[in-house]
Amino acid sequence: MAAPATAGSGEGPSDPLLDDLMPWSVRPLRTGRPWVTAPDAASLRARWDRLVRAGDAERERLFRPTRSRTPHTPVAALPGQDTGTGRFAREPGRCPEPVRILHGPYDEQWLLPDHRLIDAARPELWRVADAHQLFAVEHGRVPQDTGPALSVTALLPDGHSPAGRPGRIRPLYRRPGGLEPNLAPGLLALLRDRHGDAVGAESVLAWILAAARHSPAGCVVPLPADTARWSAGVDLGRELLRLQLRGARGGERPRLPGGRRPYVRAAVPPTPSDLSYDSEEEALILGTGRVSPVPAGAWEFRVGGVRMLELWFERRTAVAGTDGLEAVRPRVWPQEWTSELLELITLLALLAGLRPRQDELAHGPRIGAEELWAAGVLPVAAAARRPASVLDHQEEGPDGQFALL
């Protein structure tokens, strides 16, 4: 079968789509009710307590039923989570331990991992989430978007997009234990022929993280024909990956070079109401609080046209009403939020500093989609786009019933 004339991005050489290089993808989580996530775990426990103590009518209102979930919906347990499967209205059980997730790009938050509370939790992601897994998350694209096309995390991502259409979540491995890379069959062999036997799944992910870019056709990834450029891009991608993992897997937490670590110069007030930036002083101002130095690259860092620091602040200070569970939140600004803000500033500043090197990777001779078709890497077999069968044990079904899967 010949390659179609429209393969790739349609911009210069026909670069392959990420959708073909990492063919198995999962749609973003759909919680259905915002109160199941929060920037702090204590609020989630307090929301649970308020919900289970409420009377039947009040519990129904607080729950915020949807067509997918009500307090009476029977559901299976989330893989890997020890939570109840009895109908919530009848036996809510104990509060599940909140888990750390990535809420959209770069924002680490918390989630109540109870399938009875989440409209679409994507169990296939939970089945492969372990100490070996990495998730590539596409960012929604908007016109004239110059921000990164995707990010990578070791946390379970919800895939939320701050603007534009949400992208897909692409696990690096199709099975637990770092087994069966989620790469187009034949891609590793082709890249090893070009760039040496050291090419592995994580080096391919590193290249993708460094080189991926938006296009009207979707996220595209230029593949270099030159080994020196491949090696430089993989090294850059590994640095991007190290930064975005934020110390996970035994790595170092992000740190700005040359002693330019941001400090709190004036304490963040108990209830900061606004956020602004003083470019002359390189200072981030939170009400009467002040943090500096904050490089301009961190302040201007955008995904889908949205400033990440502004979005992070808004999610923690926006008025959430007075009678819903979303209103159960810290009354004053927690100290840990300040620590998280300092780390986010550092991360965004470092990522912004690497953007020029990423832009250079689009130049030079490439392995185009036509060559991938000729090598049999494309078209991708339909089986590679479906999750692998990892159900080698029983999972608890609705109302505590077990089925052999």
Scanning 13-94, the segments in alpha helix (DSSP H) are 18-21, 41-53, 56-63
**3-state class of 192 per DSSP?**
helix
Please state whether beta strands 99-102 and 156-157 pair in parallel, antiparallel, or not at all (unpaired): parallel
Q: Closest Cα partner for 212 from 313, 158, 288, 136?
A: 136
Tell me the mean pLDDT in the region 92-110. Answer: 96
Q: Which residues contact 174 (CB under 8 A, 6 or more apart)?
A: 24, 128, 180, 181, 182, 387, 388
At 345-358, the pLDDT tens digits run: 999 999 999 999 99
18, 219 Cβ separation under 8 angstroms: yes
Task: Give the pLDDT band (50/70/90) at residue 6.
Answer: very low
At 39-97, the pLDDT tens digits run: 999 999 999 999 999 999 999 999 999 999 999 999 999 998 888 788 999 999 999 99
**Which residues are registered as beta bridge partners of 264?**
291
294, 262 Cβ separation under 8 angstroms: yes
Phi, psi (deg, nearest 5) at residue 110: -130, 150
At 355-384, the pLDDT tens digits run: 999 999 988 999 999 999 999 999 999 999
Tell me the mean pLDDT in the region 26-47. Answer: 97
**3-state class of 85 per DSSP?**
coil
Q: Which residues contact 404 (CB under 8 A, 6 or more apart)?
A: 394
